[in-house]
Amino acid sequence: MSIRVVVADDQDLVRAGLVLILGAYPDIEVVGEAADGIAALDLATRLRPDVLLADIRMPGLDGVEVTRRVAGPDVANPIAVVVITTFDLDEYVLGALRAGARGFLLKDAGPELLVQAIRAAATGDALIAPNVTRRLLQAFADRSPQAPTQPVEPLTDREEDVLALVARGRTNAEIAAELFIGLSTVKSHIASLMAKLGVRNRVEIAMWAHHTKRV
């Protein structure tokens, strides 16, 4: 089945380029386009795409607010959101991660990374542009006003290994290859980490790791 995507960006050329790139992949179907945040929220609510690809800076509602409304902590049935931005360290991006975004990319990331992020988000994974992962998550940890939650159970050595790699922006496949374990084992470790840390996704795992100085 195709991954259904809504693309939201207020720049016509950028939006058209994103749609053109995604349309070249047979497993991805762009089901809607939005030129502002209000339209993006409406399309996401009505169409329930697998992934909303949203720019941070849009008129009407910015990408942070759209993310909060469709993927925030209080949303019963969240939609996977990948945010894109021109800047590699932006308050809007930090806000989007707090609001529930599953990952983010720079607009110059390239087609392969864009598609990888879409596929990861659709399967419950997350991808943060590797070249900005450390800076962004470290900034989030430094600015977070709350102390990190302690694990309900101690992490195993292998979970610590997986934690560190997630925090560095590795995908499940890359973690499996680096640790010489199966993909299903990686997914089990990540599920265990989410349960122990009380977080909802990989992005929050990475935030926790940086906040506690694990990496």
**Tokens 């894109």, residue?**
84
Q: What is the pLDDT of residues 39-97, one digit of tens each?
A: 999 999 999 999 999 998 899 999 999 999 999 888 889 999 999 887 665 576 677 77
What strand order describes the sheet that includes 28-34? 28-34, 3-8, 51-55, 80-85, 103-106
Q: Which domains does the chain have, with CATH numbers?
A: 3-127 (3.40.50.2300), 148-211 (1.10.10.10)
Q: What is the pLDDT of residues 144-174, one digit of tens each?
A: 556 667 888 999 999 999 999 988 878 788 8
Which runs of consecutive H residues, i.e. helices, occur in the chain? 12-23, 37-47, 63-71, 91-99, 111-122, 130-143, 157-167, 172-179, 183-197, 202-211
End-to-end Cα, the chain, rounded Å: 37
CA distance 70 to 80: 8
Q: What is the pLDDT of residues 5-40, one digit of tens each?
A: 999 999 999 999 999 999 999 999 999 999 999 999
User: In this model, does residue 200 exceed pLDDT 80?
Assistant: no
Q: Per-residue pLDDT averaged across 171-183, rounded? A: 90
CA distance 110 to 124: 22
Please report which confidence band the pLDDT of residue 4 belongs to, taking 50, 70 and 90 as the band edges. Answer: very high
